[in-house]
């Protein structure tokens, strides 16, 4: 039974993503904050359970980051739609995720041996995105206004997102470069 818990938590996070985004867009700020917080907490919990009890799986290794990406992107889209987050941050996060997915897909299509693994900087970038969205939702839920703080937070989040994009690009280019005949 325990072996299914990490994937179940990831699946619930996947389902929570559109709900959280809808709640943001529908001006149900406190509910959005609660759903997002629960979903964010489940991200750490599913990985801990999988590693602690040795129940990691290839499916879970795919599902967990997919759920993370969907949660971040849908919540950022919703925050942008109500003017609570800059569109440039959404474009940066989405571009990074698409570039990583495209690079991974290209390596797979070329049949190159490559093991997918999350980089520490990638995990840190996700944490920064979670904290940024959490702070945005907290301000909305308590009807607070802190534009300078949120702009600074957006830039910090963007810095980590860009740094992780560069790190992943390096990993993917090295993997492809080892197998390209000149």
- The C-alpha atoms of residue 93 and residue 61 are separated, in whole angstroms, by 20
Cβ atoms of residues 36 and 71 within 8 Å: yes
**6 CB-near residues (< 8 Å, 6+ apart):** 46, 47, 49, 50, 55, 56, 60, 64
- The C-alpha atoms of residue 43 and residue 11 are separated, in whole angstroms, by 11
User: Hey, what CATH class is 2-177 in?
Assistant: mainly alpha
- The C-alpha atoms of residue 50 and residue 53 are separated, in whole angstroms, by 6
Q: How confident is the model over 54-72, as a mean pLDDT?
A: 89
Residue whose C-alpha is closest to residue 127's, from 152, 157, 151, 98: 157
pTM value surpassing 0.75: yes
- The C-alpha atoms of residue 27 and residue 53 are separated, in whole angstroms, by 40
Q: How confident is the model over 114-138, as a mean pLDDT?
A: 91
How many Cβ atoms from other residues are within 10 Å of residue 141's Cβ?
Answer: 15
Question: Residue 38: is its pLDDT beyond 50?
Answer: yes
Q: What is the pLDDT of residues 144-182, one digit of tens each?
A: 999 999 999 999 999 999 999 999 999 888 877 766 544
Q: What is the pLDDT of residues 11-35, one digit of tens each?
A: 999 999 999 999 999 999 999 999 9
Q: What is the pLDDT of residues 94-123, one digit of tens each?
A: 999 999 999 888 888 888 776 777 899 999
């Amino acid at each position: 039974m325990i072996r299914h818990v990490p994937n179940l938590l990831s699946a619930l996070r996947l389902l929570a993503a559109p709900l959280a985004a809808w709640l943001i867009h529908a001006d149900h700020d406190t509910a959005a904050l609660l759903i997002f917080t629960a979903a964010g907490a489940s991200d750490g919990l599913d990985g801990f359970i999988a590693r602690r009890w040795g129940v990691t799986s290839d499916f879970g290794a795919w599902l967990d980051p997919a759920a993370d990406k969907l949660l971040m992107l849908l919540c950022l889209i919703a925050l942008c739609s109500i003017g609570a987050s800059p569109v440039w941050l959404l474009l940066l996060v989405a571009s990074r995720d698409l570039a990583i997915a495209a690079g991974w897909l290209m390596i797979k299509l070329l049949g190159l041996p490559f093991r997918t693994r999350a980089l520490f900087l990638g995990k840190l970038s996700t944490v920064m995105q979670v904290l940024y969205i959490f702070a945005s939702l907290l301000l909305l839920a308590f009807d607070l206004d802190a534009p300078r703080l949120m702009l600074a937070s957006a830039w910090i989040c963007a810095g980590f997102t860009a740094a992780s994009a560069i790190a992943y690009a390096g990993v993917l280019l090295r993997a492809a470069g080892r197998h390209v005949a000149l």
